[in-house]
Structure 1
Amino acid sequence: MKKISILIPCFNEYENVGPISSAIENVLKKDLSSYDYEIVFIDNASTDGTRDKIEELCAGNKKIKAIFNVTNFGQFNSPFHGMCSLDGDCVIPVCADFQDPVELIPVFVHEWEKGHRIVSGVKSSSKESGFIYFLRSIYYKLIKGMSQVHMIEHFTGFGLYDRTFIQLLRKLNDPVPFIRGIVAEYGAGFNLKLIEYEQPKRRAGKTHNNFYTLYDAAMLSITSYTKVGLRVATIVGFICSLMSFVVALVYLVLKLTNWYGFDAGQAPLIVGLFFFMSIELFFIGLMGEYILNINTRVIHRPVVVEEKRIGFDVDKGDPENTGNTV
């Protein structure tokens, strides 16, 4: 009997962990009764009672398990570690807030049985803020245009991953994993299948995404999968230098031909100084993002450090993963 591993990353989702586990279990029992399954929560150091609720769920159902992180390792590391820690024939990560429709799980499994070892959910539309969706669309098109990898637009990681792809993730040994980029890079070799869906609204609670988390995601994708930023810095720097030389040459000629009558004043100097300084600061910041990415990889800390696990078979041994346990 094949085993389906459902992974639910969560952070402060007290109102959602119970309903999402029930909804997933109902779908599995109704539409996928011929499969074995497990539902695994990986908690990113919640502080609102989510962990207590997860422990209650684990105590009442042996099919529900949990991994507790010692601190919040971010929106990418925690799900990646959870995927690498499970031993099902396939792994399906699902958000705890119901924005990943659980009704798609049987669809993913059906496509998996056809031979698609990666089945990715792609948002065709969303019930979230129209302005936010518009900004996301611009971001995806920008990254897709800049990257050498054919990035998937409106793909958040929701989908099905065969155990052969999970084995690849373990071998990557990446301290700053970006699953969206990894799927885009290697998906063709795993017979990638895209399934469109409309993203529903969050069921309860507040979103944990803010400007900083969205900026962090954008910078991770840019510094990991594009060279355009540094190339643009070089080209713009050259163009600005050329412009400065031309302007200086024009001013020199005007001054020499009309020594007493030509008076440029301070305005061109001040405007030019601030313009070129702003360009320099922008690209210094961009280079800093690349250096930060390199620094994180060189330090090579564990993707996640676990506090404890609940419900896992200790005698059987855990599958190879990329984190540590304290």
Structure 2
Amino acid sequence: MLTISFVVAVYRNAGTIIPTYEQIKHLFSDALTSFKYEVIFVDDGSDDNSLAEILQIRELDSNVKALSFARNFGQLAAITAGLKYATGDAVVNVSADLQDPIKLVSEMVSHWQKGSDLVVCHRTQRSDPFSARLFSRIAYGILKWSIPKLPAGGFDFVLMSRGVLKTLNEIEVRNRFFQADLLWASYRTTFIPYTRLARTIGKSQFGFLKKIKLFLDAFLDASYLPIRAISCLGLFTSAAGFIYAIAVAISRLLHDTPFVGYAPLMIVSLIVGGLNLTMLGIVGEYIWRIYDEVRKKPSYLIQSEYL
């Protein structure tokens, strides 16, 4: 009998953990009776009753495993840890906030059995605030330039084969864009559109600053576009300055036109200075990430294992 593993990253999700587990368990007593299941909860340093709820479930079900981090390391670290402990023939990454419809897993498993090694449930509609939806639309619109296969609404709810999982676990990068790595590691991907459900319990712990960090990781990790853009912008600025200098020289020689005023000089200086600082910042981001990788610090510290 084949086993489907579920990796559930948890951070301050007390109140939604037990319903998430119950939905998974119901699925295997209804639509997926010919499969076994494994659920791996990864507590990302929660300061509420999340771990207590997980251990309560584990006492009643030996198919449930748990990892507890020493402190908060972020959602990506929790997912990465859970994937390394997953033993199933296929692995589903699902959130613990009840916004991903668990019933879709039966359709995902069906596509996997037909040969897909990655099944992506991508969000076509979401019940998030307007500001969150606007930021998401702009961010994913930019990322589409470098990752053409990336769905417009992004995704987290996925099923991957054992082969894709093995490839992912071999990628040892701290500041990675998980979705791009998934798409790169698969050779046959199926996309399922769905509407992300409204959050009914608790509030999102993925704030604006974390979204900015995710966008930077995606933008810098998944493409050479930033460095290439710096080169093109530098060439364009130099060419524009050179052409302008020639135009000023010709005007001076032919028409004796004086070059007066500090405003043009200030404008050019501010533009060039701003571009230099921006480009230096992008290069600095790359240098920091290289240094961060060379240090080989672990992405997370596991305090307790309940296997």
**TM-score w.r.t. structure 1 length?**
0.87
The reply to whether residue 305 of structure 1 matches residue 301 of structure 2 is: yes
Secondary structure of the equivalent of 1:128?
coil
1:88 aligned residue: 88
Which aligned pairs between 1:29-68 and structure 2 lie closer than 5 A? 29-68=29-68
Partner Cα separation in structure 1 for residue 149 and residue 89 of structure 2: 27
Verify the 8 A CA contact 1:84 1:169 in the aligned structure 2. no
| Cα shift readout 1:143-201 (whole Å, capped 9, x = no counterpart) | 12134x633433323111112221222223333343201122122x2x21111111111
Identity of aligned residues (%): 22
Verify the 8 A CA contact 2:177 2:222 in the aligned structure 1. no
TM-aligned CA deviation for residue 16 of structure 1:
1.3
TM-aligned CA deviation for residue 257 of structure 1:
6.3
Verify the 8 A CA contact 1:42 1:67 in the aligned structure 2. yes
Task: Say which is worse superposed, 30-39 or 193-202, in terms of deviation.
Answer: 30-39
Partner Cα separation in structure 1 for residue 185 and residue 198 of structure 2: 30
Partner Cα separation in structure 2 for residue 175 and residue 262 of structure 1: 56
**Which runs of at least 4 in structure 1 moved beyond 6 Å after TM superposition?**
none
Over the aligned positions, Cα root-mean-square deviation in angstroms equals 2.1
Secondary structure of the equivalent of 1:283?
helix
2:177 partner amino acid: F
Verify the 8 A CA contact 1:152 1:184 in the aligned structure 2. no
1:103 aligned residue: 103
1:168 aligned residue: 167
Secondary structure of the equivalent of 1:215?
helix
1:262 aligned residue: 258
- The match for 2:212 among 203, 215, 221 is 215
Aligned residues: 307
Verify the 8 A CA contact 1:77 1:177 in the aligned structure 2. no
| Cα shift readout 1:110-144 (whole Å, capped 9, x = no counterpart) | 22222222111111221223443243233223212
Partner Cα separation in structure 2 for residue 177 and residue 203 of structure 1: 30
2:172 partner amino acid: N
Partner Cα separation in structure 2 for residue 250 and residue 174 of structure 1: 50
Verify the 8 A CA contact 1:91 1:162 in the aligned structure 2. yes
2:267 aligned residue: 271
TM-aligned CA deviation for residue 262 of structure 1:
3.0
Partner Cα separation in structure 2 for residue 24 and residue 203 of structure 1: 18
Please, which runs of 5 or more residues in structure 1 have no aligned partner? 313-326
1:243 partner amino acid: A
2:121 partner amino acid: G
2:73 aligned residue: 73
Verify the 8 A CA contact 2:140 2:154 in the aligned structure 1. no
Verify the 8 A CA contact 1:121 1:155 in the aligned structure 2. no
TM-aligned CA deviation for residue 292 of structure 1:
2.3
Verify the 8 A CA contact 1:3 1:36 in the aligned structure 2. yes
TM-aligned CA deviation for residue 254 of structure 1:
4.8
Partner Cα separation in structure 2 for residue 212 and residue 131 of structure 1: 14
Verify the 8 A CA contact 1:99 1:199 in the aligned structure 2. yes
- The match for 1:193 among 183, 187, 190 is 190
Which aligned pairs between 1:229-308 and structure 2 lie closer than 5 A? 229-254=226-251, 262=258, 264-308=260-304
Partner Cα separation in structure 1 for residue 176 and residue 127 of structure 2: 28
1:156 partner amino acid: F
Partner Cα separation in structure 2 for residue 91 and residue 159 of structure 1: 8
1:14 aligned residue: 14
2:158 partner amino acid: G
2:201 aligned residue: 204
Partner Cα separation in structure 2 for residue 257 and residue 165 of structure 1: 68
Distance 1:194 1:258, change over 3 A: closer
Task: Say which is worse superposed, 57-66 or 86-95, in terms of deviation.
Answer: 57-66
1:316 aligned residue: none
- The match for 2:222 among 222, 225, 234 is 225
